[in-house]
Amino acid sequence: MIDYSYWLDVIKKLLVFALSVFLIYFGFKISLFYIPFLIAFAVSLLIEPLIKFCMKKLKMKRKVSAILIFIIILSIIIGLIGWGIATLVSEATNLLNNINFYIDKVSNESQNLISRFKFDKIKISQELLSIFHNSSDDFIQTASDWVKNILTRMLNTLTSLPKIGIYIVITILALYFMCTDKIYMLEQIEHHLPEKWVKNLSRHVKALVKALGCYLKAQLKLVLISFIISLIGLYIFSISGMNIKYPLMIAIGIAIVDALPIFGSGTVMVPWAIISAFNGDVRLGVAILVLWIVMCVVRQILEPKIVSGQIGIHPIFTLIAMYTGFRFLGLIGMFVGPIVLIILKNIYEVRIDKGFVKSIFEKNC
């Protein structure tokens, strides 16, 4: 006889899980839509300790302390944004103008590398060899088209001043209100929501901030440190006469790869050093390796102090989450996937401890 109450309970648990995944996915879509407010919220969290420090040490009221810190941070941010946009436009334009030269260079190097192998000894037919050559050319062409597309989009975004200006102004205003009127905003949320909702929301938000917020802030600090070290190192190499033409873009690329779980900066820097040395620029290859070692040492020293605990997720599940995010959201999904995994782990921690599938399909779980 069918136990309807059992299957209703199973269906209910599965629907709740599916709804959780959908709400998290929808939440990220909404966050991207309201990106200026998300950036302002993230920055407000980062500077909140500075505001509290001024309130405590300088005996200031919250609004005065918030305005002071806001002006200081805003001046730094505007200066960095101005320098960053000008430098990125210059480097991206230069790279886009010379992209065909680099494509030909990479194509020639790959063909030279292929020609060094003695394929006759392993008895590869000319048809297969021709396919191999064509495939390598197609791969290089596809990669170059992808790079051109990214550079063109970036230049269009950076040079669309009215749109960028609106985003920046909205972000600055949102940051100001979040810093100065934080208590008022929290009181309004409590006033307009049912008391039971506020208690549950407060409990879940605190748990998520502890599990996710602190981890993301720690990772952001580590990536920022890696970016600064790589940027300074690359500029030193460029000033020293080494073949580094796009230090800011390369440093951003290294930071993006370093932000990805599992990968790390070595994914870019070690192959780059090997290829540079292989092409005869041993000095640059050694310099890149030294810079990478410095970054690793600094990260190993600072990581235990900045990251108070691990997320407790095996790398294989993190990799699956990155791949799933990539398939659903593209490149940005590689960052979103692990974050969703951490959120789900926090929400369903009790069920995971019991055995997730077991907790759904077994009674009394």
Contacts of 73 (CB under 8 A, 6+ apart): 43, 47, 50
Do residues 66 and 51 touch, judged by C-beta distance below 8 A?
yes
Q: Is the dihedral of CA 260, 237, 110, 107 positive or negative?
A: positive
Give the whole-angstrom CA distance, residue 291 versus residue 278: 18
pLDDT number for residue 329: 76
| Placement of tokens 């990539």 in the chain | 326
3-state SS assignment for residue 258: helix
Structure tokens at 71: 């002006």
Give me the pLDDT at residue 126, please: 61
pLDDT mean by block of 10 residues, the chain; 365 residues: 72 83 80 83 82 84 86 86 82 77 68 60 59 64 71 70 78 86 76 73 70 70 85 90 86 83 79 82 89 86 61 72 81 78 77 70 65
Task: Kindly report the number of other CB atoms within 10 A of residue 353's CB atom.
Answer: 9
DSSP label of 212: I
Asked if 148 and 96 count as a contact pair (C-beta separation under 8 A), the reply is yes
242 neighbors 284 (Cβ within 8 angstroms): yes
Those residues with Cβ within 8 angstroms of residue 123's Cβ, 6 or more apart along the chain or in another chain:
none
Token digits for 219? Answer: 């990772």
- Contact 244/250 with Cβ under 8 angstroms? yes
In sequence order, which residues have a C-beta less than 8 Å from that of residue 249 and are 6 or more positions away? 88, 91, 92, 95
**CB under 8 A, 24+ apart: contacts of 183-190:** 183/62
